[in-house]
Structure 1
Amino acid sequence: MDEQNKNLILATALSFIVILVWFVFFPPPEPDTPIDGTVQTTEADATVPAAPADTAATPIATDTGAAAPALAEAPRVQIETPRIIGSISLLGGRIDDLKLKDYRTTLDDDAPIVTMLSPQGSADAYYALQGWAAGAGIDPSAVPGPETSWTLASGDMLSVGTPVTLTWDNGAGQVFGRTIAVDENYMFTLTQSVTNNGGAPVSIAPYGMIVQHTLPDDLENFFILHEGAVAVADGELSETDWDDIAEADLNQKWGRQAIVQEDVQEGWIGFTDHFWQAIMIPSKGQVFDQALTYDARSEVYRAVTRLPTQTIPAGASSEVSTQFFAGAKEWGILRGYESAGVAKFIDSIDWGIFFFLTKPIFWLLHELNKLIGNMGWAIIGLTLIIKAILFPLAYKSYVSMAKMKELQPQMEKLKAEAGEDRQKMQQGMMELYKKEKVNPAAGCLPILLQIPIFFSLYKVIFVTIELRHAPFFGPFQDLSAPDPTSLFNLFGLLPWSGPEAGSIMALIFIGILPLLLGISMWLQQKLNPAPTDPTQQMIFAWMPWVFMFMLGSFASGLVVYWIANNTITFTQQYLIMRSQGYKPDLLGNITGSFKRKPKADADK
């Protein structure tokens, strides 16, 4: 076996192992069965204790089982902006009904728009709450919580530039207010106030929380994607899976299973999934504690921010503001909020361990898409740029391969002279490489460098919402999804539908893009004659078609990238090898692969 073929097999094997690891050692687990119906809590679940820095432990009120039926009867304030629609319940002042007008659940024209938040009592309850925890000088029932009946004081509907204000008089001398504003995208500003008209000071602590009842029913459970909690505390990003929250240790201070970060100077916390997230963001300059808590009996997850207890003298007032993001993880929107002061907000997108590659790759893809106006062609343009960057290495690689071809007669002579003495043959070959200034390892370096780039591009295509439902042309209307065409119905020519996406039949009856991928790999392989070793011949013969079926279920955008990459690589290799005096017999190699060898030759 010559060194060139060894390098090619090594590089191919490494690529194959990487992909095999994804699907064999890290298969996506079966999704958990969602728990339908209303989640009931017990009286023991009604509070989440949290200890203020300067007072005794103060309970943060959370929702009880009585809230769900009452929500159906409670009045609501409508929300409508150019991008969202929903309502706020006056029971607890909850933001618990929110839909995203720009996104639909499927590509169908009549598909429902995406639901972001749902009220308690729904199958997938998910909402935001705010309130005050009672401290010294005030009864816990005299502070607003999840079941407080607020009064609409101003504003008929929440919209951009038109906030609404809610009020509640506890009858004990304190009047609480809550003003809710929203911008043109997905950011709410929640301002809580209290006026102490009583005769003595009171101590209270403001809090905000995002509540998820049971696990979300649309979990993807794919190892490449983070789903669960995401937070930043003083510049440090943390990602916590749902099961890690549920398995957290009991925190005595909070009285629950909890993961707690205290005395945070700047940060945010919330829950995220594939394309959407809900994040609570205390204002800058406010020191706060943040926690992820879990109630095992009610299966309720919470992301909580709690500010220090403040003492309000008689006749005085206090006010505190928090931002609440609920919407799509759009790169441009998140970057804008980060520029406005929300620290590391762009990192709420799951960039992965290769973030130093995924971020610039996405930025370039984003800019190309803005310039071209088509994400499919933007991916091809990105491929051209990546190949241009790697061209110096590719040039050295293909020059080395051409020189190896020139040395083939001398290598065959060395093998004949060495016979069974492998050490003598290896020494002779090393001397030959040194004399001719050939590096046999140079051929696989560009392929090895492309592995992290491949990982990074796959990550970008899979996790970023900009690829969701992004069209290319014809049947390819969602580059984040697998190829919708199928050999089963001759790519739509026959009058029946293809196999359901993700099924075994869909894997077998592949579409146009995987077929083009296999052909492009096969043609690239035919630039070199088939190796003489029968085992190598078998590996090389099957390799393009194995990859074709393996990658058939990948996102269409990634397959487009790989087809473009193979085509450009084929062109580069052919031209560079010809410039070095070696003329690949492409047609002869192709026709040779279809010739049946005599049985006598095959038995040798």
Structure 2
Amino acid sequence: MDDQNKNLILATVLSFAVIMAWTILFPQEEPLVDVGNEAATVSAAAVPGTAEADPSATAPTEVAETEAPAPRIAIETSELQGTLSLRGGRIDDLSLKQYRETIDADSEIVQLLRPEGEAEAYYAAFGWAAASGIDASNVPSPDTIWTLESGDTLTPETPVTLVWDNGAGQIFRTTVSVDDEYMFSFDQSIENNGDGDVSARPYGLIRRHGIPADLKKFFILHEGLVRMTDGALEETDYKDIQDYEIHPTEGARAERIEAVEGGWIGYTDHYWMTTLIPEQNAPFRSTSKYYENRDLFQAEAVMPVATIASGETITTTTRFFAGAKEWETIKHYEDEEGVGGFIDSIDWGMFFFLTKPIFWLLHGLHGLIGNMGWAIIALTVILKALVLPLAYKSYVSMARMKELQPEMEKLKEQAGDDRQALQQGMMKLYKENKVSPASGCLPMLLQIPIFFSLYKVIFVTIELRHTAWIGWIKDLSAPDPSSIFNLFGLLPYSVPNLGPLELISLGILPLFLGISMWLQQRLNPAPTDPTQQMIFAWMPWVFMFMLGNFASGLVLYWIANNVITFIQQYLIMRSHGAKPDVFGNIKQSLRRKRKAAEEGDSK
């Protein structure tokens, strides 16, 4: 590999590392939203008598502070606790019993949904939009006060039924049920006791007030809208939703998609998600909205118009997922309950064809071993074994390049400042010894997608959250908590936020990362350029500081990968006649043979 190519690769690697570090240490702030004075308007398509009515007919309005709170129904399962409000039949108070905010035993459990009026309100509601034969005021909206008809606590064994009589001949009912995981079912019905036919569209919606304060703002993770429409996945960031064009009939910034064969729509966070799931293999309208005047995001699943003849009753079912993005749980809903493509709600990224099987293997190893840290190490061993054929060529090339190091130094001395003569001499040396520098680079480049995919898996999946490994590593999704300031965990206190000193507050794992990178580098041929030599000499320690605050699980993978790479490369170099002395000079038997042959020729 010539100096120009080395410079290019070096610049690319360093640039990527600097960008990653800058993104983590100095995340870009979101711009302030211009709320203006624009009011949310009522859609022209929501006027009774049209076939295009939808939830925009009831644009969101604030609940008056003086208005009496609506009655609530308790929600209690093995995974969830909260309440359902009779205002709009909203699920707006929901916490995840198995997850806490921190690893402390007395930490608060994670609250997923919050009622309107609280900071970062976030809830789901279900209702009907008038189409024909019925006035818009005679269908239930997200603000309608329902009456509890049956049930008193929502559990997997006891559904509840809400009822609302519009006084004009139609009785609306919503039966809410929940399973033992995170899935609610809303069975919405209209009983038409009027004289004529009525038509309306059932819908479900999710409202989120403002961009979440704990948004990660990290390029490797998607947080925002996620939806599946006719088998096509769409992920839209909150900022991009705010940039929607004003929709002519929605009264808000909006994007509509008319699904033909089903799908789902909702919002995803790092570890949690809410999703509306209409009846699958059936058409529905998937709409994402943003109301500027309220700084409110709204996702809708609007079903086709249903016509109910006098004396008839119709029922439609919409499911609502609200919980943790657990791989097994989401896979169950896809495989066993027919939610098409639901596993893709987990952010697998552009290398999904690698991240999915890598996580499957990691999950299986965790099940066998019972410890996620050791499972990561076992996974690293397996992946290194799989790519060994590629790595073998790279290590052989490096071994042969190492043999030529003395000859390259001689060429450098002879050429002096004549770079053209140096390049020609090096090419001749490579040709005579049948060495191709590119053969050492290409196999390493082919391993980059695998590395990135494992990085993605460790970062985005909830299975590593608050998962311990050994001793002081209590959370593989968080940085190593040990530090020189608490004698690497020997002193019984945690290190507070140290501001600028955080950079030198390195834990045990980052130190091992730097040492493992340095050991691996000792086996590689040194660049001929002094500047490059200095840069490569400092690189392990620079990376040690830059990557030290990454998730412990990821740092653990890097250490395991470096150690295995060092062992493989050392053994392969030995098998080709090289005798690496990691802590001293490299002595090569082939070099001695070549010198002896040259002396024989001179005689």
Whether TM-score is above 0.5 comes out as yes
Deviates more, 1:4-13 or 1:80-89: 4-13
Mapping of 1:256-275 within 5 angstroms? 256-275=252-271
The range that moved more, 4-13 or 397-406, is 4-13
Corresponding residue for residue 402 of structure 2: 405
Pairing 1:172-251 to 2, within 5 Å after superposition: 172-251=168-247
Residue 83 of structure 1: which of 74, 79, 91 is its match?
A: 79
Which of 565, 569, 578 lines up with 2:574 in the alignment?
578
Q: Which moved more, 1:16-25 or 1:99-108?
A: 16-25
How far off is 1:217 after superposition?
A: 2.5
1:541 maps onto 2:541 in alignment? no
User: Does the alignment pair 1:19 with 2:17?
Assistant: yes
- Deviations along 1:153-200, one digit per CA (max 9) or x if unpaired, are 111211113211111111111111111111111011110001110111
Task: State the Cα distance separating 1:304 from its structure 2 match.
Answer: 0.7
Deviation at 1:290, TM superposition (A): 1.2
Residue 10 to residue 399, structure 1, CA distance change in 2 (3 Å): farther
Structure 2: segments with no counterpart, 5+ residues:
587-603
**2:439 matches 1:442:** yes
Question: Counterpart of 2:325?
Answer: 329
Indicate whether 1:58 and 2:53 are aligned: yes
1:454 deviation in Å? 2.5
Change (3 A) 1:5 1:66: closer
Worse-matched range after superposition: 23-32 or 100-109: 23-32
Larger deviation, residues 451-460 vs 193-202: 451-460
CA distance in 1, matches of 2:397, 2:444: 14
Structure 2: how far apart are the matches of 1:470 and 1:54?
56
1:527 to 523, 526, 536: 523
Residue 305 of structure 1 corresponds to which residue in structure 2?
301
Task: Point out where structure 1 has 5 or more consecutive residues left out of the alignment.
Answer: 591-604
Superposed CA offset, 1:103-124 (max 9, x none)? 0000111011110111111111
What is the aligned partner in structure 1 of residue 548 from structure 2? Answer: 552
1:476 to 466, 473, 476: 473
- C-alpha distance after superposition, 1:464-492 (max 9, x if no partner): 11111111111111111111111122213
Contact 2:49–2:131 (CA under 8 A) maintained in structure 1 = no
CA drift of 1:440 comes to 1.6
Shift of 1:426: 3.7
Q: Relative to 1, partners in 2 of residues 1:317 and 1:29: Cα closer, same or farther, differing over 3 Å? A: same
Shift of residue 526, structure 1, vs aligned partner: 2.4
Paired AA for residue 388 in structure 2: F
Displacement of 1:223: 2.1
Tell me the distance in 2 between the aligned counterparts of 1:455 and 1:112. Answer: 33
**1:16-415 equivalent positions in 2, closer than 5 A:** 16-24=14-22, 29-30=27-28, 44-45=39-40, 47=42, 50=45, 55=50, 57-58=52-53, 60=55, 61-66=58-63, 70=67, 73-339=69-335, 340-411=337-408
Q: Give 1:281 shift.
A: 0.8
Equivalent residue in structure 1 for 2:427, among 427, 430, 439:
430
Distance 1:296 1:219, change over 3 A: same
SS in 2 for 1:250: coil
AA matched with 2:357: P
Cα 1:525/1:29, change in 2 over 3 Å: closer
In structure 2, C-alpha distance between the alignment counterparts of 1:117 and 1:49, rounded to whole Å: 31
Change over 3 Å in CA distance of 1:126–1:42 after alignment to 2: farther
**1:513-532 deviations in Å (ceiling 9; x for gaps):** 11111111112222357666
C-alpha separation in 2, matches of 1:312 and 1:212: 32
Indicate if the aligned counterparts of 1:228 and 1:271 stay in contact, CA closer than 8 A: yes
- Residue 517 of structure 2 aligns to which amino acid in structure 1? M
For residues 389 and 94 of structure 1, the distance between their equivalents in structure 2, rounded to whole angstroms, comes to: 51
* Cα pair distance change 1:258/1:474, threshold 3 Å: same
CA RMSD, aligned part only?
Answer: 2.8
Corresponding residue for residue 466 of structure 1: 463
- Structure 1 residues 443 and 197, CA gap change in structure 2 (3 angstroms): same
**Deviation at residue 213 of structure 1 after TM alignment:** 1.4
Amino acid at match of 1:309: V
What code does the residue aligned with 1:21 have? Answer: I
Indicate if the aligned counterparts of 1:137 and 1:200 stay in contact, CA closer than 8 A: yes
Cα separation, partners in 2 of 1:57 and 1:409, compared to 1, 3 Å? closer
Amino acid paired to 2:353: F
Paired residue type of 1:86: G
Q: 1:282 to 1:496 in 2, by over 3 A?
A: closer
The code of the aligned residue for 1:392 comes to P
Matched, 1:486 2:483: yes
Once the two structures are TM-superposed, the CA of residue 536 in structure 1 deviates from its matched residue by 3.4
Cα distance in 2 between the residues matched to 1:262 and 1:51:
17
C-alpha distance in structure 2 between counterparts of 1:565 and 1:263, whole Å: 45
Structure-2 change in CA distance of 1:391 and 1:496 (3 Å) = same
Corresponding letter in the other structure for 2:62: G
| Matched pairs, number | 582
CA deviation after TM superposition for structure 1 residue 407, in Å: 3.5
| Counterpart code for 2:391 | A
Aligned 8 A contact 1:483 1:512 in 2: yes
Aligned CA distance change for structure 1 residues 28 and 197 (closer, same or farther; 3 Å): farther
Give per-residue Cα distances to partners, 1:530-564, cap 9 Å, x unaligned: 66653233223211111110111111111101111
Counterpart CA distance in 1 for 2:37 and 2:408 is 80
**1:12 Cα deviation from its structure 2 partner:** 5.2
Query: How far apart are the structure 2 equivalents of 1:252 and 1:308?
Result: 20
- Secondary structure of the 1:473 match is coil
Measure the CA separation in 1 of the matches of 2:357 and 2:481.
29
TM norm structure 1: 0.90
Q: Please state how far the C-alpha of 1:402 moved relative to its aligned partner.
A: 2.1
Amino acid at match of 1:157: T
8 Å Cα contact 1:105-1:114 kept in structure 2: yes
- Stretch deviating more after TM superposition (526-535 or 381-390): 526-535
Q: Please list the CA deviations of residues 88-109 of structure 1 after superposition, one character each: whole Å capped at 9, or x if unmatched.
A: 1112111111110110000111
Quote the Cα distance in structure 1 between the aligned partners of 2:48 and 2:546: 56
Distance 1:52 1:521, change over 3 A: farther
Change (3 A) 1:531 1:235: closer
What is the CA deviation profile of residues 238-288 of structure 1, one whole-angstrom value per residue up to 9, with x for unaligned ones?
A: 111111112211111222210111244211111111111110011024311
> Can you list the C-alpha shifts for 1:186-238, whole angstroms capped at 9, x where unaligned?
01111000111011111211111001112222222222211111111101111
Q: 1:547 to 1:76 in 2, by over 3 A?
A: same
Change (3 A) 1:167 1:201: same
Amino acid at match of 2:577: G
Counterparts of 2:416 and 2:218 in 1: how far apart (Å)? 52
Q: In 2, distance between residues paired with 1:108 and 1:455?
A: 31
Q: Cα gap change, 1:260/1:52 in structure 2, threshold over 3 Å: closer, same or farther?
A: farther
**One-letter amino acid of the structure 1 residue matched with residue 486 of structure 2:** N
CA distance in 2, matches of 1:328, 1:237: 19
Alignment CA distance shift 1:289-1:435 (3 Å): same
Q: Which region of structure 1 is more displaced relative to structure 2, 254-263 or 53-62?
A: 53-62
Q: Specify the alignment match of 2:565 in structure 1.
A: 569
CA distance in 2, matches of 1:68, 1:45: 20
The residue type paired with residue 55 of structure 1 is T
Matched to 2:53, the amino acid is T
